[in-house]
Structure 1
Amino acid sequence: MPLYLTASHSSALKRSNTEERSSASPFSGHARTKPAAKRKQPLHEDGEDAEERLHDTGKILPLAANSKLKTVPEAIDDTLANLFSEIPDRAGMNSVRIAEVLNFRKRLPPLVSVAHIHSLITASTRTEREIAQMIAMGSLRKIAVAGRGNDISGLGEFIIRATDYEQLIDSANLTDDCKSAFKQLLRDNPRAVNLPARLIQPGDLTSLIKAGFLVSSSAYERISHGSSSTSTQFAPSRLATITPTGTHIPIHDSSFENLRAGGISTATQPANASSHNPHNNLTLSVPNLGPYLRLLSSARSHLLDLLGKSSKYREAPVYLLRERWDGAVESTENRVSQAKRMRGEFAGLLPGRTKRWKQLFGLEFDWVLQECLGAGLVEEFETKSVGIGVRVV
């Protein structure tokens, strides 16, 4: 007999399908889901992440809001006087480094950017008119740097007092006849930014180019034709790759614009293509212009980087931005810092270990902020609780 007909098959225990499975938890039958990740910050009503954004009153402070300067000569004197800060007693730098800082400051030309002047005087139209009048009278000299102003705005026009420019000529390694002829040529052409090469003797022309007072204008044209942007060729980060070495005539570090495309000095060019061509124009320059431009460009970029690291809105209070510019340096006036230093505890970094002194040679924060304000890179605004704020435009 087949097994499926026996009683053993029919006597097998069967569990009803309708019987509910017993469980210790009444929620065991629910669908399992992973716990949602907790947000570190709540959402605003518009769905954006909450962050420490400054609550401004809607009022943008105008340029020169706190300045009491009224004339261009006053603005020039103030700019040159407040360029660097004094070296502190506890600088954290040895004597060699201190000498390097002082020599670097001494070699810089007494230039002032037009953007800085506008940040100190409220009436921009009157300021431009006053600058033009002083240039026509011969008390100011305008220095134009071609290929600048696109990457960092306002980095193409500078002014220098005529007396300071003549002092640079007198202190240069030039013959007396060359100095007298060049100064007389400048007095006869007070508005000139470019000078024809035919007005200068060939021997004096070579000496002036070597000293950094003249630059071949054709160098700008060649570089501009060889690239889509002239400003990228003269960017501060690429100056070291452009400067040639081992040429017949040593190129002064100031007149880095005196270079052809591809890093070839004008001294190695043929006579018909060099600046000795009487049909070429020469651009006025000053010695040590290259280090000055690199310093100015690095300072502006560093200030913008500090604002970018402050928040995603690229804004910060002025007092906080000043602290970050100075670095976490120890305070010499705070009694708490003095007590920590006496106990051997950490009271802050020495100034010589910060970027302000390593790369920027002790540039003043207010001076750099005025530069960025005049160039239109940043703007100041009022806040409801933390005073004046600064943000990138």
Structure 2
Amino acid sequence: MPLRYSAARTSSVSKSRSPSKSPIKKFQKEAKMLLPSQRVYKNNLSNQNSSLPPSSPSKPDTEKLLALDYNVQLDYQLSSQDDVLVAVDTVLSNRWSDCTELHNRYRTGADVATEEERIFSIKGLSSALKAELVQYRQALPQGLITITQLYAIFHNQGPTFVDKSLELNIRSGKLRKFVISNASPIISRSLNKFQSKRVTYGFEDMEIIAKVDCYHELMESLIPGLEEKSPQKQALSKFHEFIKSHPTEMFISTSDFTNEEVTNLVRLGFVTLTSNHFNEIEQNYSISYPGCGSYLKLVNEGRNWLVKTLNKVKYKEALEEDLFTRWSGINMEGGLKLNNFRNPFYGYDLHWVLADALGAGIVEVFNTPVGRGWRLTGKV
């Protein structure tokens, strides 16, 4: 009997196959039924993002900020009708973030009478850290600011306006200028991206301004505590009279004081040795403010932080709001970490870090559609 051929019915055969007995495929099939679909997952993710605190309106670090103009009005800026003495009080009264009137980012909201009570009312800090804050601020010299901060406060008027107003207040005995040798850091930015930033100290002098009343009160509080008729007491009393009769003097020499008197004044911190480029025989000493090194360290740490922070961004620029966020830090819940209240800043307000850098020419400020922007200049 001849053989008969019929067409293969592959479709019907495939349908009649028994399901796979492979445990792996069985697990994959069950897992697909348990796991949400991509659409559900994306919806859940968008709902989670919407519940988070709103992020800064800044652009990503890869995009350059749009500079509208450079006619910026700063929060602490004063007009030419204001005196430099007003500017000094503005810096001193708004120095700490927890009591500044320039913003309320870190205000405690507590109605307290003393600085110590205000510090201990800050939430999110340990008691040990609060005690360290109180101790640091009490030991910090009073009435000191940098001249670069004054340049920023009178940003539109220019340095010449500040210098003239300063000279008038110095001659009238309201303010005193100090030149601290080798106190300002030179921040050199390496061109090699594999090298870390190098910060070198000791190449520039720092000019600081102090209220004369605070300076005199410091001396008057120290003199009674020194031993009667001791060399230190005699030297400080003589120096006090010299200061009152020489309001513009920034140096003393061995022709004004004996070597023993100079030695005692150096130990007390009221003078420091400086180089003398005019007379190689006679030694000159800078009139100083005791403990000013702690204040200058605070200023330099802030300047160093700002340069390193902007240097991490592609175009070396950032919005002011972003800088404030980086200054304090943000935790997982979207709240402030208050890193700026820890060592080395102890609650120092970022406004004065920006002001110091702006006055020194390290950064420039400009307006953008979403707030003020800050950019590194070529002076680093």
Partner of 1:387: 371
1:166 aligned residue (216, 227, 249):
216
Report whether the alignment pairs 1:74 with 2:83.
Answer: no
**Residue 74 of structure 1: CA displacement?**
0.5
Instruction: Say whether residues 1:51 and 2:62 are aligned partners.
Output: yes
- The counterpart of 2:327, out of the listed 299, 321, 325, is 325
Where 2:318 maps in the other structure, the secondary structure is strand
Residues in 1 aligned to 2:271 and 2:165: alpha-carbon distance in whole angstroms: 26
1:204 matched residue in structure 2: 261
Q: Retained in 2: the 8 A contact 1:63–1:118?
A: no
Instruction: Give the CA deviation at 1:126.
Output: 2.4
Counterpart position of 1:289: 292
Q: Following the alignment from structure 1 to structure 2, what is the Cα–Cα distance between the partners of residues 91 and 210?
A: 40
Compare 149-158 and 167-176 and name the one that shifted more. Answer: 149-158
3-state SS of 1:168 partner: helix
Structure with greater strand percent? 2
Alpha carbons 2:120, 2:130 under 8 Å: kept: no
Secondary structure of the corresponding residue to residue 374 of structure 2: strand
Task: Show the counterpart of 2:121.
Answer: 89
Which residue, out of 303, 308, 323, partners 2:306?
303
The CA deviation string for residues 70-124 of structure 1, in whole angstroms up to 9 with x for no partner, is 2101000011111112337354443333222212112222211111111112323
Matched, 1:184 2:187: no
Looking at structure 1, the residues matched to 120 and 334 of structure 2 have their Cα atoms a distance apart, in angstroms, of 16
Q: Cα distance, 1:348 vs. partner? A: 3.7
Match of 2:132 among 93, 97, 100: 100
Deviation, 1:306, is 1.9
Mark the CA change 1:194 to 1:52 in structure 2 (over 3 Å): closer, same or farther: same
Partner residue in 1 for 2:348: 363
Which TM-score applies when normalising by structure 2?
0.63
Contact preservation (8 Å) 1:56, 1:382: yes
Q: Is the 8 A contact 1:85 1:364 kept in 2?
A: yes
Structure 1 residues 328, 88: CA separation in 2 closer, same or farther (over 3 Å shift)? Answer: farther
TM-score (normalised: structure 1): 0.61
2:36 maps to none
Question: Helix, strand or coil: the match of 2:272?
Answer: strand
Q: CA RMSD in A?
A: 3.0
What is the one-letter code of the residue matched to 1:182?
A: F
Question: Could you tell me which residue of structure 2 aligns to residue 272 of structure 1?
Answer: none
Contact 2:274 2:286 in 1 (8 A): yes
Counterpart amino acid of 2:291? N
Correspondent of 1:138 among 152, 168, 173 = 173
Shift of the 137–306 alpha-carbon distance from structure 1 to 2, 3 Å rule, reads: same
Consecutive unaligned residues of structure 1, counting only runs of 5 or more, are 1-49, 222-276, 331-345
Using a 3 Å threshold, how does the CA distance of structure 1 residues 94 and 171 change in structure 2: closer, same or farther?
Answer: farther
State whether residues 78 and 87 of structure 2, in contact with CA within 8 Å, keep that contact through their aligned partners in structure 1.
Answer: no
List per-residue Cα deviations over 1:315-370 (Å, max 9, x = no partner): 1111111111111158xxxxxxxxxxxxxxx454642xx25523211111212111
Preserved CA contact (<8 Å) 2:95 2:352: yes
Q: How does 1:168-317 map to 2 (within 5 A)?
A: 168-172=218-222, 174=226, 177-218=234-275, 279-309=282-312, 311-317=313-319
Counterpart residue identity of residue 367, structure 1: W
**What secondary structure sits across from 1:388 in the alignment?**
strand
Partner of 1:36 in structure 2? Answer: none
Alpha-carbon separation, structure 2, partners of 1:329 and 1:71: 42
Instruction: State the SS of the aligned residue for 1:151.
Output: strand
Q: CA deviation at 1:181?
A: 1.5
Distance 2:326 2:183 in 1: 28
2:149 aligned to which of 100, 106, 116: 116
Counterpart CA distance in 1 for 2:148 and 2:323 is 21
Q: CA deviation at 1:134?
A: 1.7
Cα distance between partner residues in 1 of 2:204 and 2:354 = 14
Deviations 1:302-322 (A, max 9, x none): 12222222x210111111111
- The letter of the residue matching 2:85 is P
What count of residue pairs does the alignment treat as equivalent? 269
Q: Give, in angstroms, the shift of residue 380 of structure 1.
A: 1.3
| CA distance 1:96–1:65, change in 2 (3 Å) | closer
Q: Is the 8 A contact 2:181 2:204 kept in 1?
A: no
Aligned to 2:210, the other structure's residue is in SS state strand
Structure 2 equivalent of residue 270 of structure 1: none
